[in-house]
Amino acid sequence: MPRIITAILFIVSVSTALANPTSSVLIKNIKIIDSQTIQTDVDLLIVDGAIRKIARDIDDKDVHLVIDGTDSTLIPGFVATHNHLHMPGATFLGKAGAKLYLAGGVTTMQTTGAAEPLKELQLKQVIEQGRVAGPDIVTTGPYFTGPDGNDAMVRITDEQAIDREIEEWVDRGVSWFKVYRHTTEPQLKAIINSVHKRGAKVTGHLCSITMQQAAELGIDAIEHGFIHAYDFAEGKTAGECDGSNNYRSSLDIQGKQLEQLHKTLIANKVAISSTPSIFEAQTPNTPINPAFKTYLAPHLLERAENYLQRREKAGDSWYFKREWLDRTLQHDRLFLQRGGLLTIGPDPGLHSIPGFADQRNFKLLVEGGFTIQEAIQVMSANGATSLGFADRGYVKEGYRADLILVDGDLENAPHTINNIKLVIKNGVTYQPHELRKGLEGQLGKTVERE
């Protein structure tokens, strides 16, 4: 007899699920949405970690777990592209970070810059071994930067030294590298060469080098998008991180200049990895998810609360303007509609908390005018494309069973993204509240051993 699980009661604990990764799961009477199709009142069968069948009235004989999906929506797990395992004030978020990401629906994530790359690699491994619950992790090497940047960053400029450094990290399992604001053009050239000949990829948080230049040099992705489009900074010196950021308020989003840049990015297959939730965290008078009070370690909570106080007190005179967030989303949708590969991640910090901030990103896209299917495309399918995964990002037969079961009709009530009942990764079911158990006050607290 299959176990029948109602929409309210789940009896599969995470530990049970981890111990039993190959069981079959049948979700009955579900609405499925991905970026290509919407199907209502269908059943979905998972066998051995993959979506075996989507059809009406699938037989539940021999199925280990049956879930009633009435009044729920099934979407692909998030494949997110700016999910650090560090944040200002904490160099490694470890297992707590990984669990919070997974609880928020993230089944695959790119760390996009590491403060502790060896620890990231180790965490990726124990997750793959099934010893710790968390998303699949696409790890990043240490940041490369020019004369500026912080102490943990690599500042080498010699071409051969760059090549050796990259070889070492690729051998350890790193598949992406990130360049930071002050990287010079010769440095970026050498990095891209060295990385590409090893089959890995490069992304950048740019400033000294423009997006146009980086695209022409062969970069694979650009972080933050519009906010850091220093191509349009007035008074910018070539190769320097300077100039005015007035373009954030004044650049014509629909105009020719931006259209030209988008053409270059698209022709060179450069993804833009947008990070609206951290920008919202910097914007006065915006909603705050109280989760940060629950999960942040005391020293990070103090830091976040202090920031929020200053932000709210300053109001309109604050350095980060509301219109920048709105215009980022306008820009992002236009890039997507022009055929650009738009991806997204939370860039954790302040009260932008792993997992919760990924859910917030989804909502921000919808509030910014994206249709539900466009939002899902950005949150899942495009991330998979950028990271080179052909087996995920959609709810389709043959694809990996990386899914989010939302309590409610997500199509007509996007806020229900906050009500995730179940996250399924590689066919294994996880309940968010189980994943989050015991993590109160733990995020960024200690660097645990594994």
Contact residues: Zn ion, CB under 5 A: 347
**Residue 358 or 402 with smaller CB distance to Zn ion:** 358
In whole angstroms, how close is the CB of 85 to Zn ion at the nearest point? 11
Q: What is the DSSP string of 185-217?
A: HHHHHHHHHHHHTTT-EEEE--SSS-HHHHHHH
**Residue 273 or 431 with smaller CB distance to Zn ion:** 273
**Residue 113 or 432 with smaller CB distance to Zn ion:** 113
**Residue 136 or 347 with smaller CB distance to Zn ion:** 347
**Residue 347 or 358 with smaller CB distance to Zn ion:** 347
Q: Which two structure tokens, joined as six digits, stand for 449?
A: 């051993």
**Residue 49 or 345 with smaller CB distance to Zn ion:** 345
Q: Which two structure tokens, joined as six digits, stand for 92?
A: 């490694």
**Residue 47 or 114 with smaller CB distance to Zn ion:** 114
Sheet holding 78-80, edge to edge: 78-80, 106-110, 136-138
In whole angstroms, how close is the CB of 388 to Zn ion at the nearest point? 21
In whole angstroms, how close is the CB of 441 to Zn ion at the nearest point? 24
Chain-centroid distance of CA 296 in Å reads 19
Q: Which residues contact 52 (CB under 8 A, 6 or more apart)?
A: 24, 45, 46, 397
**CB-based closest residue to Zn ion:** 347
Place of tokens 């997974």: 102
In whole angstroms, how close is the CB of 219 to Zn ion at the nearest point? 16
Chain-centroid distance of CA 384 in Å reads 11
Contact 367, 283 (CB under 8 A): no
Q: Which residues contact 119 (CB under 8 A, 6 or more apart)?
A: 85, 92, 94, 447
**Start-to-end Cα distance in the chain:** 39
Axis crossing angle, helix 159-172 with helix 185-196, rounded to the nearest 10: 40
Chain-centroid distance of CA 418 in Å reads 16
**Residue 340 or 349 with smaller CB distance to Zn ion:** 349
Q: Which residues contact 377 (CB under 8 A, 6 or more apart)?
A: 35, 336
**Residue 224 or 400 with smaller CB distance to Zn ion:** 224
Contact 97, 443 (CB under 8 A): yes
Contact 352, 360 (CB under 8 A): yes
**Residue 231 or 347 with smaller CB distance to Zn ion:** 347
Distance CA 345, CA 109 (A): 8
Query: What does the buried/exposed string (b/e) look like for 144-153 if buried means 16 or more CB atoms within 10 Å of the residue's CB?
Result: bbbeebeeeb
Q: Which of 403, 397, 402, 409 is CA-nearest to residue 55? A: 397
**Residue 332 or 347 with smaller CB distance to Zn ion:** 347
Contact 138, 113 (CB under 8 A): no
Task: Please name the helix (run of DSSP H) or strand (run of DSSP E) that holds residue 325, with its range, or none.
Answer: helix 322-337
Beta strands 25-33 and 3-5 are: unpaired
Q: Which two structure tokens, joined as six digits, stand for 237?
A: 């010196």
DSSP state of 142: B
Q: Which amino acid is at 410?
A: L
In whole angstroms, how close is the CB of 140 to Zn ion at the nearest point? 10
**Residue 163 or 223 with smaller CB distance to Zn ion:** 223
